[in-house]
């Protein structure tokens, strides 16, 4: 007989049928009721044991966390909370658990702090919260690939090990095989990287964008979706040292087309999870509502989780120039009454999350796309505008978090790109191949980047980025 998943059994409309199911015991009550879960759904299925006719030694081996194989009959449930249950005919214990050991772990059926759950990250998907978060993460990944596939994009794998710094930020992890205690030195006493594995200094990538641009300029529409790394010593709830990035690049597309693409893309992936992950979203929404009850009124969420998703899906994104946004913020009540932590006094300020959220949640009451930022606060590869002080950059701002997407029309003019690199001290020989693109049929092209974990945070309502990736990598932490 085919083994069914718990999700399949709970959606089964036919009863009085023989079934088999395998999973882990969540709880075992009164020597009779097993709550069984196999990860296919947030819901458990109740399995009812005829304890009077079951070997007592077997019953004693059934405990929270144990893996079991159950054969029985699917029947309409007599109890509340579920439509069907399994009347057990036989139980096989596949993997036992010492109840004493369970009492020391997060598998113990009670509420645990998120810190404790992080300390046992190898077990945390046994809890409802993390199984829901990781199913949503998986569903979002599928939706991303599905969107680009349906829209004629080619998926490309950009290098993990690179010799260039795409952002010009310099916060990179070095990749080397040299002996750290006794590296070879040049005559000047510097580390001789010509003797390293790749014959030069190499690092883990901070972005696949520059390489994706090269493929866009021959394949038309491409995207990357892979791991990126930042050696940034930021111990905050919004930063990871290893995270995943989605980066589409499109030839012959200007900034307006880029904004259209990003808006359509975000609405598609959020609509996907609303349609396919209702149970997990409902659970996480209720979790947030309960969490809010213990917070002061000012710190509570103004929208439920599903309301927040509909806020994005059901509204047109408002497009506002950086210059207009600065005027709005400068004249806003929070700025005039000094309620902002970072006051806006002049054009050129780098906007903070509090400013971005004000524009979205208070002023426009819809998602916002800011564009045409000051050149000196943006990266070298963004196209310089005719005013020579702003660039064709855009950021998408969402409720609750502020910036979620950053992109731009790329600088396609060789002379301008060379000038910008020289001004920032980026050597031409390091990016000779990138400059080459501007010599062989250069054209308008654009793209954007989306930090995948930021998207998962937005969808799940989790407040810490460490809780939306299986094994977080942060300063002083590379556990598991």
Clarify whether residues 54 and 148 are in a common domain: no
If asked whether residues 219 and 330 sit together in one domain, one would say yes
Distance CA 377, CA 416 (A): 17
Side-chain half-sphere exposure of 265, counting CA atoms within 13 A:
26
Measure the CA–CA gap between 133 and 439, rounded to whole angstroms: 46
Q: Report yes or no: 284 and 461 within 8 Å, Cβ to Cβ.
A: yes
For residues 224 and 334, state if they share a domain.
yes
**Closest to 201 in 3D by CA, of 186, 218, 220:** 186
Residue 234: the pLDDT is: 83
Q: Are residues 323 and 267 in the same domain?
A: yes
Q: How many CA atoms lie within 13 A of 97 on its CB side?
A: 21
Asked if 258 and 394 touch (Cβ cutoff 8 Å), the reply is yes
Q: Is residue 257 part of a domain?
A: yes
My answer on whether 52 and 144 are in the same domain is no
Q: Are residues 25 and 142 in the same domain?
A: no
Are 151 and 61 contained in the same domain? no
Q: Domain range holding 56?
A: 3-103
Tell me the CATH number at 358.
Answer: 3.30.930.10
Q: Choose the final residue of a domain: 48, 68, 103.
A: 103
* Predicted pLDDT of residue 79: 78
CB 246 within 8 A of CB 146: no
Q: How many other C-beta atoms are found inside a 10 Å radius of the C-beta of residue 240? A: 22
What's the total number of domains in the chain? 2
The reply to whether 110 falls in a domain is no
Q: Report CA Rg, the chain.
A: 27
Based on the fold, state whether residues 61 and 137 are members of the same structural domain.
Answer: no
Strand partners, 34: 28, 47
User: So what's the pLDDT on residue 170?
Assistant: 61
In a domain, 153, yes or no: yes
Half-sphere exposure of 102 (CA within 13 A, CB side): 18
How many whole angstroms separate alpha carbon 331 and alpha carbon 429? 46
> Would residue 457 count as lying in a domain?
yes
Which residues make Cβ contacts (< 8 Å) with residue 210, sequence separation at least 6?
164, 166, 381, 431, 434
- Please return the burial class of 176, using the count of CB atoms within 10 Å of its CB with bins 0-12, 13-18 and 19+: middle
Phi-psi sector, 229: left (phi>0), alpha (psi -120 to 50), beta: beta
CATH of the domain at 51: 2.40.50.140
Query: Are residues 357 and 318 part of one domain?
Result: yes
DSSP letter assigned to residue 349:
P
One domain, residues 84 and 144: no
Residue 179 belongs to a domain: no
For the chain, the straight-line distance linking the first and the last C-alpha, in angstroms and rounded, comes to 37
Please calculate the CA angle 122-140-145 and round it to the nearest 5 degrees: 120
In a domain, 219, yes or no: yes
67 Cβ neighbours under 8 A, 6+ residues apart: 22, 23, 24, 93, 94, 95
- Contacts of residue 306, defined as CB under 8 A and 6 or more positions apart, other chains included, come to 274, 281, 285
Written as six digits, the tokens of 248 are 């589409």
Of 116, 114, 56, 49, give the one whose Cα is nearest residue 86: 49
457 with 388, same domain: the answer is: yes
Is-contact 235 475, C-beta < 8 A? yes
Helix (H) or strand (E) holding 225: strand 221-229
Q: Could you read off the pLDDT tens digit of each residue along the chain, which spans 480 residues?
A: 799 999 999 999 999 999 999 999 999 999 999 999 999 999 999 999 999 999 999 999 999 999 999 999 999 998 788 899 999 999 999 999 999 998 889 988 888 999 999 999 999 999 999 999 999 999 999 999 999 999 999 999 999 999 876 665 568 999 999 999 999 999 999 999 999 999 999 999 999 999 999 999 999 999 999 999 999 888 888 889 999 999 999 999 999 999 999 999 999 999 999 999 999 999 999 999 999 998 888 888 889 999 999 999 999 999 999 999 999 999 999 999 999 999 999 999 999 999 999 999 999 999 999 999 999 999 999 999 999 999 999 999 999 989 999 999 999 999 999 999 999 988 999 899 999 999 999 999 999 999 999 999 999 999 999 999 999 999 999 999
Q: Is the pTM of this model over 0.85?
A: yes
Taking the C-alpha atoms of residue 210 and residue 268, their distance in angstroms, rounded to an integer, is: 26
Residues 44, 156 within the same domain: no
Task: Give the model's pLDDT for residue 301.
Answer: 87
The answer to the question of residue 347 being in a domain is yes
Answer whether 446's CB lies under 8 Å from 408's CB. yes
């Amino acid at each position: 007989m085919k083994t069914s998943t718990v999700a399949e059994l709970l959606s089964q409309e036919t009863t009085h049928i023989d079934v088999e199911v395998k999973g882990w015991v969540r709880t075992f009550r009164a020597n009779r009721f097993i709550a069984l879960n196999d990860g296919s759904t947030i819901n458990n299925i109740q399995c009812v044991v005829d304890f009077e006719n079951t070997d007592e030694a077997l019953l004693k081996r059934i405990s929270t966390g144990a893996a079991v194989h159950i054969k029985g009959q699917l029947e309409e449930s007599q109890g509340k909370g579920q439509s069907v249950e399994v009347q057990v005919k036989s139980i096989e214990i596949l993997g036992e658990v010492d109840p004493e050991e369970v009492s020391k772990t997060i598998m113990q059926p009670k509420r645990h702090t998120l810190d404790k759950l992080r300390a046992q990250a190898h077990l945390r998907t046994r809890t409802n919260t993390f199984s829901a978060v990781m199913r949503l993460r998986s569903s979002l990944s599928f939706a991303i690939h599905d969107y680009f596939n349906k829209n004629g994009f080619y998926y490309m794998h950009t290098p993990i090990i690179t010799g260039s710094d795409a952002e010009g930020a310099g916060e990179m992890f070095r990749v080397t095989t040299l002996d750290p205690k006794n590296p070879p030195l040049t005559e000047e006493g510097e580390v001789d990287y010509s003797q390293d594995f790749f014959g030069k200094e190499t690092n883990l990538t901070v972005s696949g964008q520059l390489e994706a641009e090269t493929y866009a300029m021959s394949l038309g529409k491409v995207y990357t979706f892979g791991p990126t790394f930042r050696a940034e010593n930021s111990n905050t709830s919004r930063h990871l040292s290893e995270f995943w990035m989605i980066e589409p690049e499109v030839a012959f597309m200007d900034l307006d087309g880029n904004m259209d693409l990003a808006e359509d893309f975000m609405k598609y992936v959020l609509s996907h999870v609303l349609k396919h992950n209702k149970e997990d979203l409902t659970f996480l929404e209720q979790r947030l509502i309960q969490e809010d009850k213990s917070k002061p009124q000012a710190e509570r969420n103004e929208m439920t989780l599903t309301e927040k998703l509909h806020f994005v899906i059901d509204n047109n994104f408002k497009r506002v120039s950086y210059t207009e946004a600065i005027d709005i913020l400068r004249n806003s009540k929070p700025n005039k009454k000094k309620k902002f932590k970072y006051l806006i006094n002049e054009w050129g300020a780098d906007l903070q999350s509090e400013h971005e959220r004000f524009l979205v949640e208070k002023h426009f009451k819809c998602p916002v796309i800011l564009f045409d930022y000051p050149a000196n606060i943006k990266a070298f590869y963004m196209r310089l505008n005719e005013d020579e002080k702003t660039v064709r950059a855009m950021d998408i701002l969402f409720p609750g978090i502020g910036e979620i997407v950053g992109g731009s029309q790329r600088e396609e003019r060789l002379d301008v790109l060379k000038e910008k690199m020289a001004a920032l001290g980026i050597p031409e020989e390091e990016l000779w191949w990138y400059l080459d693109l501007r010599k062989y049929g250069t054209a308008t092209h654009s793209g954007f980047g989306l930090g995948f974990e930021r998207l998962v945070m937005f969808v799940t309502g989790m407040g810490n980025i460490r809780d939306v990736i299986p094994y977080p990598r942060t300063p002083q932490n590379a556990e598991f």
